Structure 1
Amino acid sequence: MKKYGLTLLATIFLLSSCANEDPQKEETAEEVSNENPSSFKEIGSLTIGGEGAAEISAYDEVSKKLFTVNNSDNNKIDVIDLSDPSNPKLIASIDLTPFNGASNSVATYNGKLAVALEATPNKQGLGKVVIFDTATYTVIKEISVGSLPDMVTFSPDGKYIMTANEGEPNSDYTVDPNGSISIIDVANNYSVTTLDFTSFSSQLSALTTAGFRIGKVGASFAADIEPEYVTISADSKTAWVTLQENNAVAKVDLVSKTISKIFPLGFKDYSKAENAIDVSDKDAIVTFSPWKVKGLFMPDAIANYSVNGVNYFITANEGDAREYGDYADVKRLSKLTLDPLAFPDATTLQAEAKMGRLNIITTMGDANNDGKYEELFAFGGRSFTIWNGDSGSLVFDSKNDLDKRSNDFGTYDDGRSDDKGSEPESVVVAKMGNKNILFVGLERADTVMIYDITNPAAPQYLQSIKTADAPEGLLFIPASKSPTKRSLVIVSSEGDGTIKIYQPELN
């Protein structure tokens, strides 16, 4: 994981898929039908550490406990009594040092806690998932998975545990393990199937044309793939996995345990007025303007839901550079040489108050390799996007709504305008009454925004919530699972190690 830009948001199986629950769970909608999804207010808070604490949280309905990754001091999982959400209490910690790994993510299901750990001191080694009993904290099983498991989740039916194994290289790129996905079959004594992307290497040309991104120094196609986050459909048959640095999403068939497709996500045109962004942190003002640059969506977190039998996945388009040791694929626009035919106004554009401060992807845009850039590509989409789950086609993009609304809300950080703006990090979909509700965590704006996405093609903004510093984990607990029988939103912020709990008002 990379501080403030990691995966994020390992949630319990239900959190990213509760919007498309099966018919047997329709009582949930009835229980929350009188809650107002645009009226969330803070009801509780707890600080468990400093920077690096409160990264990701998962809630166990059986024990009414919250389990939170805490890497601020010791390598541990903090256990919080959530039986009274207005007064959360730290009651225990699970020491992870005996497992020789650093925790990245947690998930729960029916009294089981799954913890994803990357190998230490060399994270290029095989990672592991350790299963604990949520009541006694005793170990149920220890399972080897791929390199650097960055996110872990249970399938809605509890039959599978999945990890996104990022497989990052070491500092000098001499060791670059394959990025992979591990599928753990719980009923079959936690047997593991780990899948990599070797079989897709022959499709590189077509994928690249459609907006897929491959690095120039990776050991191989499969090694360059970096899975980040997983969401699993309500019927536990399909998963979608973000490949953040590759600007793509992979579709996984859980029945056959195969990767069925890679969806390249293409580019976002910031020269269009509807996508206007602020690109300078040195102009002393927040101004959203069109610029001659394209953004790669490069999503971190992902969620899914279905409407009228159609599957959709939703991405938080954070963006992420590759920076390992002396290698970096990012540079200020002012430091690049622009092609004079493509950019006759280069001198003006490269001023600090214009585009000069904008971070640009250095491995794209110089098609003829003459050292002069004919096109400019930036990190992230500064948005959330709804995609068709079967075709990968774009259904809706929030354009510049997140940045503009956070600016209006008073939380936009102009110091991040040159990088990724408000930096959408996490997304969670929930069913409240007869509505599908989306929660979007903005890491650099310290805000969660709420939208009604019942109509995937026309989401409606509902509310903004102020969070603690650098929200990383975002968790929705439906009323049927909540200790108070009221829906809850829990935000874990790694900047100051604070967990905040929000509850909606009744209509």
Structure 2
Amino acid sequence: MLSTRPRIRRAAAPILLGAVVVGCLAAAPAVALPVRTAIVDAPVEVAADGAALSLSPVGAYETGVFDESAAEIVASYDGRLYVVNARAGLVDVIDVTKPSKPKKVGEVASDGIANSVAIRADGLGVVAIEDGDDKTAAGRVVFFDATKKKPRVLGSVVVGSLPDMVALSADGARAVVANEGEPADDFSSDPEGSVAVIELPGTVSAATQADVRIADFHEFEAGGSRALPEEVRVFGPTPEADLPVSRNVEPEYVAIDGDTAYVALQEANAFAVVDLDGATVEAVVPFGFVDHSEAGHGIDPSDRDPRGAPTFDVRTFAGLKGMYLPDGLVAYRAAGETYLVSANEGDAREWGDYVENARVKDLGDDGLAPVCETSPAAALTGDADLGRLNVSTAMGLSEDGSCYEELYAFGSRSFSIWTTGGEQVFDSGEDFERITHEAAPAFFNSNHSESNLEGRSDDKGPEPESLAIGEVDGRTYAFIGFERVGGVIVYDITDPAASAFVTYLNNRDFSVSVEDDGVELLSAAGDLGPEGLSFIPAAMTPTGEPMLAVANEVSGTTTLYAISATS
């Protein structure tokens, strides 16, 4: 049994940054909720001894669309949720004034595909829109008025290629956009990644093109004025054209602290530091690697364990490292210092004929270099050990390229807290796999589209995708969603170095496997594939208690969770 007693040490109250907001929590008696569509009868749950808060699902809006990204990113404003529906290419507007009965009341539509949404305190909404015909073309940011009963589009500006995420500064003066710049699927073109800085008007109105500045990565190219650290991953099928760094960094997620933005460069395993006043990238900071040979950082890397069948088997492995490769990145302050919190999902590059990942047991075949005979991992290439695990073919090669001295897995199956200089002050290690196993041992490391045992052990495990941060009763909590097995895990991060597990809840019925049983049972399955999370403070909810909104891309559901005191 996992020991989950919180290790909490009192610290100065932290200051939350960007769109993170503060709620207050009053003790409330447990209330039996009636059975509702997409709310399962018995959510999977495990909590630490003495957990200060709990989650409970209270209502869900369903699109009825399975595994087509019909609910991705969610933002809240004035009793409504604004949910990115990538399948429909728009933002759904959902009324949640009655949390148990969410209903769609409108949409924000524009040409192209919506990827991200954020809303300022006065109701100015911003949506990141990629080109619907060619994702490598320049995208746009669309502005809308959320104060209206039917949200009204106000205008748009052009930004970079594939704007993937938009965030607002805490003072509402700027919108910052991560332009991912992914290559075409057949790698016929590969645009630059960049960061757009948009000066916003003081009223609920659209910015103009003159308000847009682009921060690029040109100074990190060969001969540029800024050095690129060796650990930053720039590799793969780069075209013969110029700017290989700019084409490879692919900005993914934005966290803002005052006049500085920290932008996750997921595939590069790094983050960019962007000066918003000058709209310049000042530094690229590598996240580094986790050593899976160290105690507390083990993983279960196989769906065919020592007994020849799927089973729970978290352990350490010599010669194996993990690349953090975070997707979600949020900034907050504690004791006067700024910290970054990352959800370490992991991601491989696969464009055109180039495929970065391969199973360990396939190294040495089909033109791939083998594992070096002198590597500690050389004796671990069988299915029961590391043989089934997907690793990078671009990392760990010997100097002459003849064999792999070390193996590098995608993601760390954890979340981390970092200083803004890239020093790690906390990592959850192997907690996620141990806690999700304790919660649902028969579906440990399940996939999202179907219920199974260890369907994801050989890849990225629970796959922490994204996160939100909120303050409750003077303490700060991180809410982290697991894209594959599902659910939300909560950690108290008030004192970053002493962060501790609080609770885990998964609104999922594993007895229903939609991919096997059919989409007509989608409602019964609950929430599948959490993608975006938004903390809603008590002052902005109809219940007077803080809530959490979660958009689930596989089940196409957006679910509201009550955050309640347990004592």
Question: With structure 1 as the length reference, what TM-score do the two structures score?
Answer: 0.89
Name the structure 1 match of 2:444.
Answer: 412
Q: Deviations over 1:216-242 (max 9, x none)?
A: 322411111111001112xx3222110
Paired residue type of 1:212: V
Aligned residue number for residue 481 of structure 1: 540
SS of structure 1 residue aligned to 2:361:
helix
The CA distance in 2 between the partners of 1:54 and 1:344, in whole Å, is 43
- Whether contact under 8 Å (1:297, 1:318) holds in the other structure is yes
CA displacement at 1:172 relative to structure 2? 3.4
**CA distances 1:359-403 after superposition (whole Å, capped 9, x unpaired):** 1101111133444211111111111000012x2211111111111
What displacement does 1:307 show? 1.2
Partner of 1:336: 363
Q: Please give the alpha-carbon distance, in whole angstroms, between the structure 2 residues aligned to 1:208 and 1:304.
A: 22
Amino acid of the structure 2 residue aligned with 1:482: T
Matched, 1:215 2:235: yes
**Are 1:198 and 2:229 matched, yes or no?**
no
Q: Distance in 1 between matches of 2:435 and 2:380?
A: 26
Task: Quote the residue 1:466 is aligned against.
Answer: 506
| Contact residue 182 and residue 193 of structure 1 kept, 8 A | yes
1:388 maps onto 2:419 in alignment? yes
Match of residue 279, structure 2, among 249, 252, 257: 257
2:103 is matched by which residue type in structure 1? K
Residue aligning to 2:493: 453
When the two structures are aligned, how many residues end up with a matched partner? 475
Q: Report SS of the residue matched to 1:39.
A: strand
Does residue 347 of structure 2 align to residue 320 of structure 1?
yes
**Partner of residue 225, structure 1:** 249
Q: Which amino acid is 1:118 matched to?
A: E
CA distance in 1 between counterparts of 2:559 and 2:380 reads 42
Within 5 Å, which residues of 2 pair with 1:49-68? 49-50=64-65, 51=67, 52-61=69-78, 64-68=79-83
Q: Which residue of structure 1 aligns with residue 140 of structure 2? A: 128
Deviation at 1:21, TM superposition (A): 4.3
| Contact 2:114 2:129 survives alignment (8 Å) | yes
Letter in 2 for 1:103: A
Q: Which has the larger radius of gyration?
A: 2
Which residue number corresponds to residue 240 of structure 1?
Answer: 262
Q: CA RMSD in A?
A: 2.2
Report matched runs for 1:246-395 at 5 Å.
246-283=268-305, 284-291=310-317, 292-337=319-364, 338-343=370-375, 346=378, 348-389=379-420, 391-395=421-425
Q: Which amino acid aligns with 2:56?
A: K
Structure 1 residue 293 displacement after superposition: 0.7
Aligned equivalent of 1:11: none
Q: Are the structure 2 counterparts of residues 307 and 33 from structure 1 closer, same or farther at C-alpha, using a change threshold of 3 Å?
A: farther
CA distance in 2, matches of 1:370, 1:227: 29
Q: Would you identify which runs of 4 or more consecutive aligned residues in structure 1 move more than 6 Å?
A: 203-206
Distance in 1 separating the partners of 2:238 and 2:540 = 44
Would you say 1:397 and 2:427 are equivalent positions?
yes
User: Which residue number corresponds to residue 476 of structure 2?
Assistant: 436
* Superposition deviation, residue 19 in structure 1: 5.8
SS in 2 for 1:505: strand
Structure 2 counterpart of 1:113, from 118, 125, 133: 125
The change in CA–CA distance for 1:95 and 1:141 in structure 2 (over 3 A counts) is closer
Query: Would the aligned equivalents of 2:229 and 2:284 in 1 still touch at CA under 8 Å?
Result: no
Q: State yes or no: 1:32 paired with 2:59.
A: no
Which of 86, 108, 130 aligns to 1:71? It is 86
Distance of aligned partners of 1:485 and 1:223 in 2 relative to their CA distance in 1, 3 Å threshold: same
1:33–1:434 CA contact under 8 A, matched in 2: no
Separation in 2 of the partners of 1:214 and 1:205? 15
148 and 406 in structure 1: CA distance in 2 versus 1, 3 angstrom threshold: same
> What letter matches 2:217 in structure 1?
F
Render the CA deviation track for 1:132-180: whole Å, top value 9, x for unaligned: 1122322212110010011112212111111111101113333111101
The 1:256–1:60 alpha-carbon spacing in structure 2 relative to 1, beyond 3 Å, is: same
Task: Determine the C-alpha separation between the residues in 1 that align with 2:92 and 2:99.
Answer: 16
Counterpart code for 2:374: A
Q: Does the CA-based 8 Å contact 1:48-1:90 persist in structure 2?
A: no
What amino acid is the match of 1:38?
L
Whole-Å separation in 2 of the counterparts to 1:405 and 1:228:
28
In structure 2, distance between residues paired with 1:69 and 1:339: 43
TM-score of the aligned structures, taking structure 2 as reference length? 0.80
Larger deviation, residues 85-94 vs 174-183: 85-94
Aligned to 2:219, the other structure's residue is in SS state helix
Asked if the contact 1:360–1:376 (Cα under 8 Å) also holds between the matched residues in 2, the reply is: yes
Residues 447 and 464 of structure 1 are in contact (CA less than 8 Å); yes or no, is this contact kept in structure 2? Answer: yes
Distance in 1, matches of 2:177 and 2:372, equals 46
